[in-house]
Homo-oligomer: A and B are copies of this chain.
C-alpha cells in the first residue's frame, strides 16, 4: 500500500474479517489511510460497505475480527441524516449533538449557502424535500475541522449540481491534507488520486 511512510496513518485497519448472516463479507482487509488520500469503497449492494464504515468509525464493536486504529478526530456521515425534523437547519447545525465545534452564525449561514439552502435557514426541516434534508447534514462538511471524513453515500438524493459541488469540496479537503473514505455507487469525478477498496473481490487496490 502506498502513502507517505514518514507520517503515521490517520486510520489503520488490520486484518478485518466480517461474517454477517452466514456470508463472509470481507477477510483479512488491511489498509492504511494517510493524509491527502481519497478512498472510495466499492461494491455491489450488500457487499459490506456500510458495515465496514461503521467498523472504521467505531460504531460497530461486536461481531468482527481484526483491529482498527484511528489517530485523528473524525467526521462520520451515515445513511441517516442526523437532522432533527422539528428544528430549523440553523438550529440543527448550531446545536449539533456531535459537539465538535461551536460555530458562529455567519459560519453556519455560509455553510448553508454553500449547500444551496440559503433562504431555508429558519424553516423546520420536516418541510424540506428529501434532498434538501440531506443537504443540511452535508453542511457539516463545510464546518468540520476533522481531518478524517468517513462518508456513507454522501451523494444519495442529491442533484447533479450538488454532487459537483461536493466533489470539489472533497478534492479541496484532500489537497489541504485531509483524508476521505467514502462509499458511492457513482464514479467520482475529482481531479486527485482516488484509491479503491473493492469489497466484491475483497482486495484493497
Contacts and interface: CB of A to CB of B under 8 A. Distances in A.
Each complex incorporates copies of this chain amounting to 2
B157 A21 contact: no
Interface stretch (A57-65, A66-74, A125-133, A170-178): A125-133
Given A45-B129, A129-B50, A130-B50, A21 B160 contact: no
Contacts of A44: 116, 131, 159, 161-162
B185 A130 contact: no
Contacts of A157: 45, 153, 156, 185
Which 4 pairs between the two chains have the least Cβ-Cβ distance? A45-B131, A46-B129, A46-B132, A44-B159
A158 interface: yes
A46 B46 CA distance: 30
A123 interface: yes
A103 interface: no
DSSP class of A's interface residues: helix, strand, loop or mixed?
Answer: loop
Contacts of A21: 123, 127
A198 to B, nearest CB: 12
Nearest to A43: B159
A130 B79 contact: yes
A47 B127 CA distance: 13
Interface string A129-166: 11110010000000000000000010011111111000
